Amino acid sequence: MGKVIAIKAERRRWELPPIEQQADMAKEMGIDTLLYCRNPWAVRHRFLNHETGEEVRARCNRWDCLHCGPRKVDLWRQLVKAAEPVLFLTLTKAGR
């Protein structure tokens, strides 16, 4: 079984472990491929917010991507929930 990692809480706030420890945990658990989009185009591109100086990695936004797919599903769930639909809706995907 894996190691149990304790994160101490102060004033109802969770402190994250240092980034080096987070990277080690991701590598040990085999989830390092889920932390960023591995699409070659996405790896080469970044977006820069000129106002804040923040740099964000690009994503391929493909449904079959291990990184982008779950995020798209979550985004659509949030959009449907926010719309508060009164009718039943089935979303399907045809073909590739």
- Mean pLDDT per block of 10 residues along the chain (96 residues) reads 50 70 80 77 89 89 88 90 86 81
Is-contact 60 41, C-beta < 8 A?
A: yes
**pLDDT confidence of residue 90:** 83
End-to-end alpha-carbon separation of the chain, Å? 39
- Of residues 31, 93, 32, 83, the one with CA closest to residue 62: 93
pLDDT confidence of residue 1:
47
Q: How many helices and strands, by DSSP H and E, does the chain display?
A: 3, 4
Q: How far is CA 47 from CA 52, 57, 92, in A?
A: 12, 6, 31
